[in-house]
Amino acid sequence: MDLSRLGLAAAALPSGVPARRCPVDSIGLLTACRVMWEQGGRLVALWACDDRDRDRGYQINVVLQDGDGLTLLEHSLQTSESTYPDLAVVFPAANRMQRAAFDLVGIASEAEDQRPWVWQASWPIDCFPLRRDFEASPNWQPGQEEYPFVRVEGDGVHEIPVGPVHAGTIEPGHFRFQVVGEKVLRLEERLSFVHKGIEKRFEAMDAATGHRLAGRISGDSTVAYAWSYVQALEAIAGTALPPRALWLRALVLERERIANHLGDLGYLGNDGGFAFGLAQFSRLKEHVLRTNSIAFAHRLAMDYVVPGGVARDLAPAAAAAMRDECTMLEREIGTLKHIYDEHEGLQDRFRSCGIVTPALAAKLGLTGLAGRASGQAHDLRCDFGCAPYDALDVRRAAAVAGDVAARVAVRFDEAIESLRLVRAIIDAMPDGDIDVPVAEPPAFRKGLGYVEGWRGPVLVGLECGPEGTIRRCHPHDPSWSNWPVLEHAVIGNIVPDFPLINKSFNLTYSGHDL
Partner 1 sequence: MLHILRQIARTGIKTDPAPAADHALAVADRLQADVLKTLGRALTIRHVDAGSCNGCELEIHALGNPYYNIEGLGIRFVASPRHADLLLVTGPVSKHMAIALQRTYDATPDPKLVVAVGDCGCTGGIFGESYASLGRVGNVIPVDVEIPGCPPTPTALLQGILAAITARPPVTASAHER
State the binding string over 471-510 for partner 1 (x if CB under 8 A, else -): -------------------------------------xxx
Asked whether position 291 contacts partner 1 by CB under 8 A, the answer is no
Report d(CA 117, CA 197) in Å as an integer: 14
Report which of 303, 290, 329 is spatially closest to residue 423, judged by C-alpha positions: 329
- Contact call for residue 195 and partner 1 (CB under 8 A): yes
**Sequence letter at residue 70:** L
Q: Is 203 in the site for partner 1 (CB under 8 A)?
A: no
CB of 82 to partner 1, least distance (A): 25
**Total of residues contacting partner 1 (CB under 8 A):** 56
Which range of residues in 40-48, 59-67, 275-283, 416-424 is near partner 1 by CB under 8 A? 275-283
List binders of partner 1 among 294-313 (CB under 8 A): 299-300, 302
Closest CB to partner 1 among residues 56, 201: 201
Amino acid identity, position 437? P
Binding of residue 122 to partner 1 (CB under 8 A): yes
Report how far residue 224's alpha carbon sits from residue 373's, in angstroms, rounded to the nearest whole number.
Answer: 21
Apex 103 CA angle, 101 and 109, nearest 5: 50
Pick one of 186, 285, 472, 476: the residue that binds partner 1 (CB under 8 A).
285
Of the candidate spans 76-84, 95-103, 164-172, 390-398, the one that interacts with partner 1 by CB under 8 A turns out to be 164-172
Question: Among the candidate windows 61-69, 87-95, 271-279, 447-455, which touches partner 1 by CB under 8 A?
Answer: 271-279
- State the number of CA atoms in the 13 A half-sphere of 13 facing the CB: 27
Closest CA relative to residue 306, chosen from 396, 478, 434: 434
Residues 311-370 that bind partner 1 (CB under 8 A): 335-336, 338-339, 342
Nearest to 17 by CA among 75, 66, 74, 73: 66
- Tell me how far apart the alpha carbons of residues 167 and 51 are, in angstroms, rounded to a whole number: 43
Q: Rule CB under 8 A: is residue 171 a binding residue for partner 1?
A: yes
Q: Is 381 in the site for partner 1 (CB under 8 A)?
A: no
Contact 142, 157 (CB under 8 A): no
Closest CB to partner 1 among 248 and 300? 300
Listed ranges 133-141, 319-327, 354-362, 388-396: which one lies at the site for partner 1 (CB under 8 A): 133-141
Q: Is 140 in the site for partner 1 (CB under 8 A)?
A: yes
Which residue in 87, 89, 94 sits closest to 480, CA to CA?
A: 94
The nearest distance, CB 259 to partner 1, in angstroms, is 9
Exactly one of 15, 59, 120, 479 binds partner 1 (CB under 8 A); that residue is 120
Task: Say how far apart CA 308 and CA 287 lie, in whole Å.
Answer: 29
Strands (DSSP E) contained in 78-204 are 83-84, 108-109, 157-162, 174-180, 183-190
- Of the candidates 54, 158, 283, 323, which one interacts with partner 1 according to CB under 8 A? 283
Task: List, in order, residues 6 or more apart from 451 with CB less than 8 Å away.
Answer: 16, 224, 227, 228, 231, 253, 380, 457, 458
Q: Measured from the CB atom, is 58 or 202 closer to partner 1?
A: 202
For partner 1, which is the closer residue by CB, 84 or 498? 498
Among 1, 33, 198, 236, binds partner 1 (CB under 8 A): 198
Q: How far is the CB of 134 from partner 1 (least distance, A)?
A: 8
| Contacts for 308 with CB less than 8 Å, ≥ 6 apart | 230, 234, 239, 241, 245, 435, 436, 437, 438
Nearer to partner 1, 204 or 315 (CB): 204
Q: Smallest distance, Å, CB 434 to partner 1?
A: 23
21 touching partner 1, by CB under 8 A: no
Q: Does 142 bind partner 1 (CB under 8 A)?
A: yes
**Half-sphere exposure (CA, 13 Å, Cβ side) for 344?**
0
Q: Among residues 74 and 264, whose Cβ is nearest to partner 1?
A: 264
Q: Where are the beta strands (DSSP E) in 95-182?
A: 108-109, 157-162, 174-180
Q: Which is nearer to partner 1, 203 or 313 (CB)?
A: 203
| Secondary structure of residue 66 in the 3-state scheme | strand
Q: Are strands 309-310 and 305-306 parallel, antiparallel or unpaired?
A: antiparallel
Could you say which of 34, 56, 115, 200 contacts partner 1 (CB under 8 A)?
Answer: 200
CB atoms within 10 A of CB 55: 7
First to last CA, the chain: 31
Hey, what's the torsion of the CAs at 268, 273, 277, 279, to 10 degrees? 110
Beta-carbon contacts of 55 under 8 Å, excluding residues fewer than 6 positions away, are none
Comparing CB distances to partner 1, the nearer of 147 and 443 is 147
| CA 295/CA 228 separation, integer angstroms | 22
Instruction: Tell me if 132 contacts partner 1 by CB under 8 A.
Output: no
Residue 49 Cβ, how far from partner 1 at the closest point, in Å?
18
Q: How far is the CB of 461 from partner 1 (least distance, A)?
A: 19
Q: Is 218 in the site for partner 1 (CB under 8 A)?
A: yes
Question: With respect to partner 1, which residue has the nearer C-beta, 279 or 359?
Answer: 279
Q: Which residues bind partner 1 (CB under 8 A)?
A: 120, 122-123, 129, 134, 136, 140, 142, 144, 164-165, 167-172, 192-198, 200-201, 212-213, 216-220, 222, 263, 276, 278-280, 282-283, 285-286, 289, 299-300, 302, 335-336, 338-339, 342, 508-510, 513
